[in-house]
A and B are shown apart, each in its own frame.
Chain A
Amino acid sequence: MAPIAPIALTVNGKNHRVDVEPRTLLVELLRENLRLTGTHVGCDTSQCGACTVWVDGKSVKSCSMLAMEADGAEVTTIEGLAENGELHPMQAAFHACHGLQCGFCTPGMVMSAAELVRRTPHPSEGEVRHWLEGNLCRCTGYHNIVRAVLEAAERIAGGPR
């Protein structure tokens, strides 16, 4: 039996102290221990990006990080993105542009794309497509996802409408 160790981390602004096995992945901690099931698992080789969250402000595939590595970190998941029920501009743009169908890749797409726009406030279509290479979608052909990210960038750069 693998030893259990306690870690402390902040998730969506809430402090947690959790006992984890050394092999527990961050995504398992989020989904199973904390029951934050908005973060999804679509593969076992860190290719699909459905599990993308922010760790200390940077987007990370939470399947590629041990929970213990998140000791002391500040984690934001898709559940923590909207404020007071109001969608983040990236979420709002995905809705407005029909950037989601089955919704399974969506949390990872949104978390990843939001970081792109933070880093590159005015991305080109090519930059958006290149950035999203680590996020797979089978439904949308990426067309409306790319449109959504470009629109969100405009909304964010232009301030609240």
Chain B
Amino acid sequence: MSAAGGQGMGAAVLRKEDRRFLLGKGRYTDDLQLHEQSWAVFVRSPHAHAAIRSIDAAKALAAPGVLAVLTGDDVAADGLGGIPCGWQIKNKDGSVMVEPPHPALAQGKVRHAGDPVAMVIAETKAQAKDAAQLVEVDYDPLPAVAHLPAAVAPGAAQVWDEAPGNVCFDWHLGDAAATDAEFARAARVVALDLVNNRVAPNAIEPRAANGHYDAAEDRYTLYTTSQNPHLIRLLLGAFTLKVPEHKLRVVAPDVGGGFGSKIFHYAEELLVLWASKRVGRPVKWTAERSESFLSDAHGRDHVTHAELALDGDGKFRALRVRTLANLGAYLSTFAPAIPTYLHGTLLSGPYVIPAIYVEVKAIFTHTVPVDAVRGAGRPEATYLLERLVDKAARETGADRVEIRRKNLIQPDQFPYQTPVALQYDVGDYQATLDMALQSIDYGKFAERRAASEKRGKLRGFGISTFIEACGIAPSALVGALGARAGLYEAASLRVHPTGSVTVFTGTHSHGQGHETTFAQLVVEKLGIPFENVEVVHGDTDRIPFGMGTYGSRSAAVGGTAIVKAMDKIVDKGKKVAAHLLEASVADVEFADGKFRVAGTDREKTFAEVAFAAYVPHNYPIETVEPGLEDSSFYDPKNFTFPAGCHAVEVEVDPETGVVDVVDVAIADDVGVIINPMIVDGQAHGGLAHGIGQALYEECVYDPEGQLLSGSFMSYCMPRAADLPMFRVGNHATACTHNLTGIKGVGEMGAIGVPPAVINAVLDALAPLGVETIDMPATPEKVWRAIRAAGGGA
């Protein structure tokens, strides 16, 4: 625990950032109104697939207040780059994936409903909206395909000529021969066909972008709803706008949630900057929710066949997985990495499985691009594994808890090398399993089930034991896997003359509370008051560099960069203190905010040393530079591996099919915790997200590629009345390869809980003979499953 007023590591410090949000003084992108602000509205394709015969903007241009109507031809004429993909995947034969062009505005063809075709800029938003209705686009509709596996069937509509059969890549991982051999001698094989439902991210703040080209300075500024402003600047600079970074400033101010969807470089970010230069005014665009459904990258959308081989003792011997992954019409920034490196590599879960082989075919369809949504690949891996384990228990007559316990990696087996490329550094999976079972009082489940039955309800218990890979990502490792950028993190620390500190972090906070937690890291290390620390993020003009926030990486990677920078500050401070205290540097210790000559009471406070560094009259000026500021780039050595156990109880009404989540108890190992209040909050949000996927949420396309669930009227978001209070427990084992011991927490709920919910639903329905159900387990689906199994009236 910390020295400085209980506001260091491990303290449930209330958040600094709350006050501005509670007063209505947050600064979100749409709140910003620039001098001479103009507005953009996009004309989007109503067709999933069509050739554009012509675009007639004459009426729109003549409408009141219209400044410009821009199309794909203008984008091409001005030489804007296509939206790039950050990851490249190799096929089984070593060739590279198909990487089709992604123009910022459609050129020649549209490939999903919502594909942007034209951009209307006007004095006001209402004028831009009115004029957008007047843009006449002559489409020649073409056959389209939206679903898996229809997109790979012979004769399916083709999204790209260069991708025959709609295959983007055909990837594999693991030892096929060893896996086949294990299956050949297995005592038992359990197989499952699964769908991992397509979901929309739905941060409550819709995406927005405000571009300003300053002609006097020849400089661009973009305000955008981004999780990673530096990454956007990098992609704008190198690929899309193609101007050097010193001419580009990207600001991600307060951002109203991300959940992955605000990682990616979207066309609108490029277009508002480009349009601003063309019209000579700042150009702002804010998505309406229906536009978000048609333009934010979606998540998941896998169709999988999975098989588990067991020996006669119920031990897992091998896993074989064949997945089709829908990538949508274009490759989003991280898209190819999600079903591969964040999915295939996770398939050992927390278990000893001697042989694993996974094949993933990534498929283009005429739908919105699919990329990371909270969990990103790891929920898909966890879901199939935990469904399979439950099925194995059912088919072999084993207890669901005991089959897991028997196959978990033991604490003395770390570091543990899986057959699918990852090496887990540390964990204690038995401890979190026991903790969750105790928390939900598993021993008394039968009594609760009987009580539910008396009320006409079917009660089910479900569990999942899981791992995730977070703290993305070690550059050397992911570079070998195909990333075109390393995912390190940067931090700068400026100690001011009177000893207060400004931290500049390359991560971005859009709900995670970094202004509080990163300040706690500083309080813990430098021993200065919490109030004396300011954390700055989200502005490329203020922060030297950064990779941003996703993959539960901010505390594990960004936090470690901050600690490394502080180590440099302390090292320099010792030299200054040694001079002031007339001692040798080796004799100076730093603790509790004081530099002290070891074994004496001679000391200088952190503030005194800082002051001396900026007013260096009495100073080792020959050997030490004035000033007290340093920075660090930290590239992690490995992923971190948070893990845990999620236990769920549901009650199903057999008459209506309604599933009520009545209890959720989880035990997680997220490594060392900075602020337990914030960690619990992250768990709550992830759980709601995961329960949403399991029971309510789905992006539904008709076979022709029309999105049927394009608003909050038709896409069911979890609401307060749908959820119970959550019991959250933690059992930490410290990450062994970073300075903080932190593993990461942001995605855990969304990863661990969906299979626990479905396993609970199937447990409830088992007496009626229902053996499988796909997410989301809506009342209709549950009701039909009961009827199909011959249960119910």
Contact = CB atoms under 8 A, between A and B. Distances in A.
Contact of A101 (B30, B685, B720): B685
B255 interface: yes
Given A43-B712, A141-B726, A35 B681 contact: no
Contact of B711 (A37, A44, A137): A44
A142 B720 contact: yes
A1 B681 CA distance: 49
A99 to B, nearest CB: 9
A138 B689 contact: yes
B685 A140 contact: yes
A10 interface: no
B719 interface: yes
A95 B289 CA distance: 28
A140 B681 CA distance: 6
A133 B720 contact: yes
Contacts of B713: 45, 47
A140 B684 contact: yes
B10 interface: no
B688 interface: yes
B686 to A, nearest CB: 8
Interface residues of B, number: 59
A104 B26 CA distance: 8
B677 interface: yes
A139 B685 contact: yes
Given A39-B24, A146-B720, A138 B126 contact: no
Contacts of B688: 138, 140-142
A90 B613 CA distance: 45
Interface string B280-298: 0000001011100000000
A155 interface: no
A102 B15 contact: no
A91 B19 CA distance: 9
Interface centre among A133, A135, A139, A145 (most CB of B within 10 A): A139
B203 A138 contact: yes
Interface string B164-177: 00000000000000
B21 A45 contact: no
A101 B205 contact: no
Interface centre among B23, B125, B259, B688 (most CB of A within 10 A): B23
Nearest to B509: A102
Interface in B4-63: 14-15, 17-26, 28, 30-31, 33
A41 B687 CA distance: 25
Contacts of B21: 100, 103, 106-107
Interface stretch (A54-62, A66-74, A124-132): A124-132
A102 B253 CA distance: 11
B24 A107 contact: yes
Contacts of B267: none
B480 interface: no
A117 to B, nearest CB: 15
Contacts of A123: none
B376 to A, nearest CB: 16
B721 interface: yes
Interface in B684-727: 684-689, 711-713, 717-721, 723, 725-726
Interface in A28-43: 31-32, 35-43
B696 to A, nearest CB: 12
B520 interface: no
A75 interface: no
A51 to B, nearest CB: 11
B255 A38 contact: no
Given A103-B256, A136-B719, A138-B257, A42 B205 contact: yes
B677 A95 contact: no
A27 B430 CA distance: 52
A39 B205 CA distance: 12
Nearest to A43: B289
Contacts of A144: 681, 684
Contacts of A143: 681, 684, 723, 725-726
Interface centre among B19, B687, B719, B720 (most CB of A within 10 A): B720
A103 B720 contact: no
On chain A, which size bracket covers the interface? 35 or more
Interface centre among A43, A100, A126, A143 (most CB of B within 10 A): A143
Contacts of A17: none
Given A21-B126, A38-B23, A102 B677 contact: no
Contacts of A32: 125
Nearest to A36: B24
Interface in A102-129: 102-107, 110, 125-126, 128-129
Contacts of B64: 1
A131 to B, nearest CB: 8
Contacts of A77: 24
B24 A94 contact: no
Contact of B15 (A35, A98, A128): A98
A48 B712 contact: yes
Interface centre among B14, B204, B286, B719 (most CB of A within 10 A): B204
A94 B204 CA distance: 18
B254 interface: yes
B743 interface: no
A95 B22 CA distance: 8
A128 B720 contact: yes
Contacts of A138: 202-204, 257, 259, 685, 688-689, 717
B620 interface: no
A143 to B, nearest CB: 4
B640 interface: no
Given A132-B720, A139-B511, A87 B22 contact: yes
Contact of A42 (B20, B23, B289): B289
A95 to B, nearest CB: 5
Contacts of B240: none
A149 to B, nearest CB: 9
Contacts of B317: none
A38 B687 CA distance: 28
B719 A133 contact: yes
Contacts of B288: 43-44
Nearest to B286: A41
A26 interface: no
B779 interface: no
A82 interface: yes
Contacts of B17: 103
Contacts of B24: 36-39, 77-79, 81, 107
B22 A106 contact: yes
A78 to B, nearest CB: 4
A153 interface: no
B511 A141 contact: no
B512 interface: yes
A96 B14 contact: yes
A94 B22 contact: yes
A120 to B, nearest CB: 15
A28 to B, nearest CB: 8
B752 to A, nearest CB: 14
Interface of A: 1, 21, 23, 31-32, 35-45, 47-48, 50, 77-79, 81-82, 87, 91, 94-96, 98, 100-107, 110, 125-126, 128-130, 132-133, 135-146
30 contacts: A36-B24, A39-B24, A40-B256, A42-B289, A44-B289, A44-B711, A45-B290, A47-B712, A48-B289, A79-B23, A98-B681, A100-B22, A103-B18, A103-B26, A103-B254, A104-B28, A104-B203, A110-B22, A133-B719, A133-B721, A135-B720, A136-B717, A136-B719, A137-B720, A138-B203, A139-B257, A139-B685, A141-B688, A141-B726, A146-B720
Given A104-B203, A144-B684, 16 more contacts: A32-B125, A37-B24, A38-B26, A41-B206, A41-B286, A44-B288, A79-B23, A82-B22, A87-B23, A91-B23, A95-B18, A98-B680, A102-B256, A126-B721, A143-B684, A146-B720
Interface of B: 14-15, 17-26, 28, 30-31, 33, 64, 125-126, 202-206, 254-257, 259, 286, 288-290, 510-513, 677-678, 680-681, 684-689, 711-713, 717-721, 723, 725-726, 749
